[in-house]
Amino acid sequence: MVDRHLETVSFSHGAGPDGADTTGLDEAMRYSLLAGGKRIRPVLCLATARSIGEPLEDFLGAAAALEMIHTYSLVHDDLPAMDDDDLRRGKPTSHVKYGEAVAILAGDGLFAEAMGALATAPAPAGRVLEAVSLLSAATGVEGMVGGQYIDVSAQTLDADGLRHLHSLKTGRLIRASVEVALALGGLDEAGREPYRRFASLIGLLFQIVDDILDVTGSDEELGKPRGSDERHGKVTYVSLYGLERARALGAETHQQALAALAGADGETDDLRRIADYIYSREQ
């Protein structure tokens, strides 16, 4: 459902009356957006919408927005000034295929188009405004971009610092994937709390599993070179705790995430399956 909707997304109408043409930028944006991937964030959004009894069709724009934001972050993370990676999702990264300038613009464009897609969600204006505010906060200095800054500035981190880094860089957007759906659906504050706790925990779980796979997975499984974290000298859950302790922490976090859903009023089977999938990637 998510992939079908993303296939319909177009960012350019071709050449204008003056001959100026942005189809090359459209191609670069779609190249990264449609390159595959797990689609965890849009699927989380739709699963949350289903859990609170909302029609999924009304949330496809929000789901697409979340995937656009995630994709933009990957395009920029892969740049030579950041992680300098040449492979993403098994394909050449955007800057390798199109050049650095176009890759930067493609990331910028995906961010802007994401906000536009969310702003036109079919929900009351107050709910849409809250959803846009949540997503912008999740991607800003107190969210994904702030986490990336901590990461690239090579700060010395202890366990608490590592968890804070990933709560910003990875966790905030995963949490926003749930929170945006809750906002658009108009769920009251008390009803949101179990979902928020679940989202925070699977954000942590996702990063723990990613760190483990960077050590144990193959290039084919990862869609990028194995061991890139170690090559870049990054602190990870594996480098900090060791492989077995990281695995135990992942198992514990998985169970905590499932337990958090016990307090939710809606049907949570899809959300539980997502948590199981994230955890099982390392098994």
258 neighbors 275 (Cβ within 8 angstroms): yes
Please, what are the domains in the chain? 2-9+20-280 (1.10.600.10)
Closest CA to 184 of 7, 274, 63: 63
Average pLDDT over residues 3-25: 76
The model's pLDDT over 44-79, given as tens digits with 9 standing for 90+, comes to: 999 999 999 999 999 999 999 999 999 999 999 999
Token pair recorded at residue 149: 């800054």
The model's pLDDT over 135-164, given as tens digits with 9 standing for 90+, comes to: 999 999 999 999 999 988 877 888 899 999
Half-sphere exposure of 54 (CA within 13 A, CB side): 21
The pLDDT of residue 89 is 83
Token pair recorded at residue 245: 């302790």
pLDDT at 231 over 70: no
Q: What mean pLDDT is reported for the chain?
A: 91
The pLDDT of residue 117 is 95
The pLDDT of residue 154 is 76
The model's pLDDT over 238-269, given as tens digits with 9 standing for 90+, comes to: 999 999 999 999 999 999 999 999 989 889 99
Q: How confident is the model at residue 22 (pLDDT cuts 50, 70, 90)?
A: confident
Any bridge partners for residue 187, and if so which?
A: none
Average pLDDT over residues 17-39: 87
Neighbours of 13 (CB within 10 A): 10
Any bridge partners for residue 10, and if so which?
A: none
pLDDT at 210 over 80: yes
Average pLDDT over residues 70-99: 93
Average pLDDT over residues 15-41: 85
The pLDDT of residue 3 is 81
The pLDDT of residue 279 is 95
